[in-house]
Structure 1
């Protein structure tokens, strides 16, 4: 773990006469004290692999014009974005830009300028692959989720009367759209089998070096161009999901945000809803279930007239996940009921958009099990997680997560032997899957073992799991 203490020397001319007025104004508007800013920056940094010891004296130096080291300006911007309720970049806060910061800041924004979106996506992918100037983790910024929701919903209202929604039946013309769909299918198979961490770089490379240049060429027929934009949006969402699965939460947020903008060019409301579902999942799992519910609601508004019951089923499930994380059992039950109704309304995968054909009863079981776990409904969690485990032998990531939920359900019913046995099977599955989401689910189970840490069975599981899950925090 990297350790950070002080920043770089002031640039010539900095000091009291050149104090950082932008940072001072942001602190004042956010009602944020020097000490609380420093504490939150340290906390956020530790989550992302940087051990810092900033204090209120550090903040005073920043206000006097000192440039913090590494990715600390991004962390400061993330903290103040949360407090202010809207996205601010390091440059907005008066920090000197470097090669990395412009694209990391731009990629959080849903922009009207399509050429700028394509340039941002290509630059983000290039920087990501080469790790050029990516100093530490790129932070997840909860406050930046508002902008894409607002601009997407404004687009939705402006195109409310359109009847040219793309449902994207399989393309068979042998052209570039069919080729991109074939690559998407291959990436999907690899992701399901090995986890997002194993395929992430390939997705990003293909999107940014092959597909974005296709979109920048002139002369493509309009219908084919629209299909290409939708396929690119799907790839950007996949880059986001695979980044999420690799523990790169800030990159996941940025790829999904840019994917949502491309989705508007593709006029694909089904896919737009699914990208919002991905952002909802990310927000809820990172401790912002309020944002998770809001994003799911935006997705429901997007997909309600798209002719995709399966897409709506997933969005109601994401709404349920957010409500469950907040301990709201009534709202969770209502959202799961609506998800079941949409599942029953579907006429089968073949009648749905290609983007949601993987969704089925077993998907809803797995998400419901997580809701029941979070609400402490152990018997219901055991039943649904057990059914999910049995149904998903070929989907290792989903099976690993459901096994962890099942282990928690056993533990909640004071059946320690069964809990440890099930968790051990989940641990064995993780040896073949590179998935941070699966690891986090098992860490959640391990944390629940802490009150029984004196028992030999628990101690043995902790010893066996340490190489995969890391040491107990």
Structure 2
């Protein structure tokens, strides 16, 4: 389909581009036909009318246009997605309901960051809904598979020019936030990361740039949005975290930078981890499979290993019928990592031997909820993760220690499990800003309950209760 050169409504342009219609006249005819069949309206739109909509003009029957596009794409497209001015004071559509269009994504990020910076965490969390299941995966994955609206041309030199050195500083700041998050949790630096993201978005919206620099900045924004999302998830801001993840994913899809594909993979993986943490492993499995489909065959074995390992993590809670598939995923992840070169994982934070073992431990422990004998595999992998874990990953080390304690409570070694639990409490003090650490610590109360009469376990449970109460105070 040939689109006009002057486009004021880029969302409509992307929707038309991926709709399957071969011309603007064919699309206009479909609008006329549906209006007649469903509403008894006699319309006479042609390519001129569609060009007018693309140029910023309004439409008298927007519901019919939205319905035609919804049927063409196979997902519901609200009118407000195509014509935001029709919202009439209502909040904008959630990002996962909207196609990937760079100018829109930047506008959405700017508006959302502004709300975040002016709103207390609890109020923001209550205001932004978390979505799981087909309501999320169907539209989100459909948009990722369709065309994307790229950055507008901004190559004409101005007094405010975006340079590559500025982009590299944004990338370095994101790396620094990631290191701090891994070491002490996301609670302390979340607002600083959001502020840095605001600065990056403002730069891209307000300066001129070459195509290469602009798209690298868009990729940097995607990565930083993902970091803000991960920090939000770590402090149990589920809806806000998902919104940052989604907008970051769309920015990565819209960028032509060489990192675009791996950033999409990384963001889908983080969204899957959030789904598992919040009790939606089936949705997480869909997101992991989408990430695997993005990876070029035979490339990035470290990233592929991480995804297959994460797939095992999603399969763990799904019951005995998934055990053989889980075992296959764990083994394949190990084989892929063995084939990886040391530099293969430089674009993804959570790859490597320790991460594979830690995730495998969690997968086997989830499976042990159905078949307790599998806790032996969880224990073995947790010990391997602790041995391989590098300094600077304090939160992951706590998770490994909690998993080891959980496995030993499940495997009927309660006294050693209590000792492991005490170590987990000690380690957790280093990651005091992570709500996820406290959440997983609290799960040890459930796993230790069958052995509560034993003196060592009783002492551990008493200390754990005091620790959790102090953290909640």
The verdict on a shared fold, with TM-score over 0.5 as the criterion, is yes
Residue in 1 that maps onto 2:435: 436
Distance 1:315 1:262 in 2: 21
Q: 2:232 aligns with which of 229, 238, 243?
A: 243
1:175 aligns with 2:197: no
| Residues 135 and 437 of structure 1: CA distance in aligned 2, closer, same or farther (over 3 Å) | closer
Q: How far apart in 1 are the matches of 2:426 and 2:366?
A: 24
Are the equivalent residues in 1 in contact too, given 2:137–2:286 (CA < 8 A)?
no
2:187 alignment partner, one of 193, 197, 203:
197
CA distance 1:122–1:454, change in 2 (3 Å):
farther
Partner of 1:131: 119
Q: Aligned ranges for residues 28-39 of structure 1 at < 5 Å? A: none
**Residue 151 (structure 1) aligned to one of 138, 143, 147:** 143
Change (3 A) 1:200 1:430: same
Whether the 8 Å CA contact 1:241–1:252 is kept in 2: the answer is yes
Matched-pair contact (CA < 8 Å) for 1:86–1:146? yes
Summarize the Cα distance change of 1:449–1:271 in structure 2 as closer, same or farther, 3 Å threshold. Answer: same
**Equivalent residues of 1:336, 1:368 under 8 A apart:** yes
Counterpart of 2:290 in structure 1 is 298
Matches within 5 A, 1:404-415: 404-415=402-413
Alignment match, 1:356: 348
Q: 2:197 is matched with which residue? A: 207
For residues 362 and 145 of structure 1, do their structure 2 counterparts lie closer, same or farther at Cα, with a shift above 3 Å needed? Answer: same
Contact 2:361–2:379, Cα closer than 8 Å, also in 1: yes
The answer (yes or no) to whether the contact 1:117–1:258 under 8 Å persists in 2 is yes
Instruction: Write out per-residue CA displacement over residues 234-279 of structure 1, whole angstroms, 9 at most, x where no aligned residue.
Output: 0111111111111111111111110111001223111111111111
Q: 1:390 to 1:345 in 2, by over 3 A?
A: closer
| C-alpha contact (below 8 Å) 1:324/1:374 kept by paired residues | yes
**Size of the alignment, in residue pairs?**
363
Q: Equivalents in 1 of 2:221, 2:337: separation in Å?
A: 27
- 2:222 matched to which residue of 1? 233
Deviations 1:73-110 (A, max 9, x none): xxxxxxxxxxxx98999x99xxxx998x725x534434
CA contact (8 A) 1:272 1:299 kept: yes
Unaligned runs of 5+ in 1: 1-84, 160-172
- The SS at the match of 1:220 is coil
Partner residue, 2:325: 331
Q: Contact between 1:281 and 1:292, CA under 8 Å: does it hold in 2?
A: yes
Does structure 2 retain, via aligned residues, the 8 Å contact 1:313–1:342? Answer: yes
For the residue of structure 1 that corresponds to 2:430, the secondary structure is coil
SS at match of 1:212: helix
1:109 partnered with 2:107: no
CA drift at 1:462 = 2.9
Paired residues for 1:32-111 under 5 Å: 102=91, 105-111=93-99
- 1:394 Cα shift? 3.1
Q: Which residue of structure 2 aligns with residue 382 of structure 1?
A: 379
The Cα of 1:470 is off from its aligned counterpart by 4.6
CA distance in 2, matches of 1:113, 1:310: 30
Distance in 2 (CA, whole Å) between partners of 1:261 and 1:109 is 11
Q: For the structure 1 residues 419 and 234, does the alpha-carbon distance in structure 2 shift closer, same or farther, using more than 3 Å as the test?
A: same
In 2, the alpha carbon distance for the partners of 1:367 and 1:110 equals 32
* Residue pair 2:100, 2:253 contacting (<8 A) in 1 also: no
Distance in structure 1 (CA, Å) of the matches to 2:392 and 2:165: 31
**Alignment match, 1:446:** 445
Change in Cα spacing, 1:451 to 1:87, as seen in structure 2 (3 Å) is farther
CA 125–87 in structure 1, closer or farther in 2 if over 3 Å, else same: farther
Structure 1 position 398 matched with structure 2 position 387: no
Unaligned runs of 5+ in 2: 1-73, 82-86, 151-162, 369-373
- CA offset digits 1:157-213 (Å, max 9, x no partner): x99xxxxxxxxxxxxx861111111101211121111111222111111102x1001
More displaced stretch, 367-376 vs 339-348:
339-348
Partner of residue 70, structure 2: none
User: Residues 86 and 144 (structure 1 numbering): CA distance in 2 closer, same or farther, change over 3 Å?
Assistant: farther
| Alignment partners' CA distance in 2, 1:137 and 1:88 | 22
The 2-side partners of 1:391 and 1:247 are apart by: 28
* 1:107–1:458 CA distance, 2 compared to 1 (3 A): farther
Q: What TM-score do the two structures reach when normalised by structure 1?
A: 0.71
CA distance in 2, matches of 1:442, 1:125: 32
How far residue 140 of structure 1 moved from its aligned partner, in angstroms, is: 1.7
- Over residues 292-339 of structure 1, what are the superposed CA-to-partner deviations in whole Å (9 max), with x where a residue is unaligned? 111100000011348321111111112111111212111111111221
RMSD: 2.9
Helix, strand or coil: the match of 1:247?
coil
Cα distance change of structure 1 residues 454 and 107 upon mapping to structure 2, 3 Å threshold: farther
Which TM-score applies when normalising by structure 2? 0.71
